[in-house]
Amino acid sequence: MNPLAVKVMAEAGVDIAAQRSKLITELLVRDFDLVITVCDQAHESCPLFPGQAKVVHRSFDDPPRLAAQAATEEEALAPYRRVRDEIAAFVQTLPTLLAGA
């Protein structure tokens, strides 16, 4: 897990230290109602989902890419914080977005 992501999520009260990305084949559920992708690579490489899965995509910047040239840790944390907050705001819109679907 990316230590900068862990740090900014901890600032928001969320512990992701033990989390990791998973392959679709690792998930027990195979029939999805809703799939949300938040990066372009995932959106482009996601498989087709069987059934009636609604797929919602919202592109966010890639914090590791943005932080790569940072001179200090604090400077590197800025894009992580911004994207964290953008994702949180997006999640708040999901009930309205999905109600209109």
Q: Which domain holds residue 73?
A: 25-99
pLDDT band at 46 (very low <50, low <70, confident <90, very high): low
Cβ neighbours of residue 33 closer than 8 Å, sequence gap 6 or more: 52, 53, 54
pTM check: above 0.75: yes
Question: What is the mean pLDDT of the segment spanning 9-23?
Answer: 93
Residue 13 region by backbone torsions, left for phi larger than 0, else alpha for psi between -120 and 50, else beta = left
CA dist 66 → 2, 13, 61, 69, 92 (Å): 14, 23, 8, 7, 25
Would 7 be classed as within a structural domain? no
Would 66 be classed as within a structural domain? yes
Q: What pLDDT is stored for residue 50 in this prediction?
A: 63
Would 95 be classed as within a structural domain? yes
- Read off the CATH number of the domain in which 64 is found: 3.40.50.2300
Would 42 be classed as within a structural domain? yes
Largest Cα–Cα distance in the chain? 47
pLDDT band at 14 (very low <50, low <70, confident <90, very high): very high
Q: What total of structural domains would you count in the chain?
A: 1
